[in-house]
Amino acid sequence: MNGRVFLIGAGPGDPGMLTLRGAELLRQADVVLYDGLCNPALLQHATNAEHICVGKHGQSRIWKQGEIIEEMLQHAGAGRRVARLKGGDPAVFARTAEEVAALQQAGIPMEVVPGITTALAAGSFAGIPVTHRGLASAVALITGHEEPGKAQSALDWDALARFPGTLVVYMGVTTARSWTGALLSAGKSADTPAAIIRRCTLPDQQVIRCRLDEIADQLTPATQLRPPVIVIIGPVTELADAVHWAQSRPLLGQTVLVTRPADQAETLADPLRQLGAQVLVQPVIEIQPLDDWTTVDTTIETLSNFDLIVFCSRNGVQSFCNRILAIGNDLRCMGNLEIAAVGEKTADSLSEFHLRADIVPPDFRAESLAESLTGKVQDKNVLIIRASRGRDELSPALQQAGANVTQLVTYQHLDVCQADPTIIELAQAEKIDWITLTSRVSATNAFTLFGDAMKKMKIATLSPVTSDRVKEIGLQVTTEADPYTIDALIESLRKASS
């Protein structure tokens, strides 16, 4: 039995706030039990695991603590590695002690991984340090939602009202009138500065500045500000205007839909998040291995018959080189071949296998690659590594230049037939500002999934080829990358949003 449990702090919301150890253990997990407050983007670290949401406010039933523990024990008892992903830090109002006790009683090995709790993240992302040399030398973390059924509160409100530092209230939305009233009754000054922070570290973070006696009105009714929310009380909240870098990011307030395949989406999504965007990821194309490798294997065994090998994508590099290794060969079988790559990123992928591209066109287009090779391929045997579908302008151009061309499909391009219902709903409600499209196929399939809702989105494309397809569909292109790289696509979107 190798079952064990990792209790992992997911941090305050931004997926970049996860610790390296947390990411490492998610990659090892067979099952992830995650809270609704955890950013779903963190699940990218657990691509081989089963994902089980234990409840999200306003969207699904919240599991009882006993149900979560039972599910955790069941999977671990069956020999699985279970990641229990918890918002913030496992040691701060996360009921971790109950889970630890159950695991210890069952004799199941475990590890607890700290996370950044929201009170600490507020200092960086909302400009409110909970301690300050001149204003607060102590901080108290307080629950605004004590365990139901208690005969009396375990909190000493008189002491908290006199506390010489910062008060941070967690889970206090629905009970705001009760706990603010308790502080006021205990003598806390009504004009004590306060700040309400919702979705700290996320692109749609909100910071509301008010007084202690105004908090309840700001939070009532509870639907006015949905969780996650913390309230910070004390003079430090008046420093919020001094540290405002998070509020000045160029894409703040913009919702961007990334349509790249799942294993490539983060290369675009993460930089957009760093610029302040709210990023939605909905692949419109799926990359899958071949069902039958016979032709590829035969070609690998006869590579010595070729003079030049051309890689048209990073996926082609990875699928072909990994197949060479999978059948027990090694990359020396490519030793006598000249290598061409369609672009810089494809060349970078070759370097991961310790291979260097001899030819890379300056503007990362198949047409430019064909021009670079014209005059060099007369009577040469050329092998083109490609996907199961897509434009084929390179092969005819090389054949016209006198090459003997063989095209080899090493991976499948499949359409995603159903989009996330939540993203469909946002698109139809016109709540998506931008959509990014990186190929003709992605443009076509995005329109199949989202239809006329795309007319209300600004469209950013990777190249003129993609733009042409967008226009054929009947849509308008807002901005286009130049040169045709992901970095340039991000920059063009940033400029178009300013």
The two three-digit tokens of residue 198, written as one number: 């919702």
Catalytic residue among 56, 376, 431, 456: 56
- Classify 33 as helix, strand or coil: strand
Q: How far apart are CA 202 and CA 13, in angstroms?
A: 6
Catalytic residue among 30, 35, 89, 433: 35
**Would you say 7 and 84 are in contact if contact means Cβ atoms under 8 Å apart?**
yes
The two three-digit tokens of residue 31, written as one number: 């099952």
Bridge partners (DSSP) listed for residue 82 = 5, 31
User: 421-428: long-range contacts (C-beta < 8 A, 24 or more apart)?
Assistant: 423/257, 423/280, 423/282, 424/449, 424/450, 424/453, 426/255, 426/280, 427/257, 427/453, 427/454, 427/456, 427/457, 428/453
3-state helix, strand, coil in the chain (%, to 5): 40, 20, 40
Q: How far apart are CA 218 and CA 412, in angstroms?
A: 53
Residue 56 annotated in active site: yes
User: 182-190: long-range contacts (C-beta < 8 A, 24 or more apart)?
Assistant: 182/153, 182/155, 182/157, 183/157, 183/212, 183/233, 184/212, 184/213, 185/157, 186/157, 186/158, 186/160, 186/161, 186/162, 187/158, 187/161, 187/162, 188/160, 188/161, 188/212
Q: How far apart are CA 486 and CA 481, in angstroms?
A: 8
Active site members: 35, 56
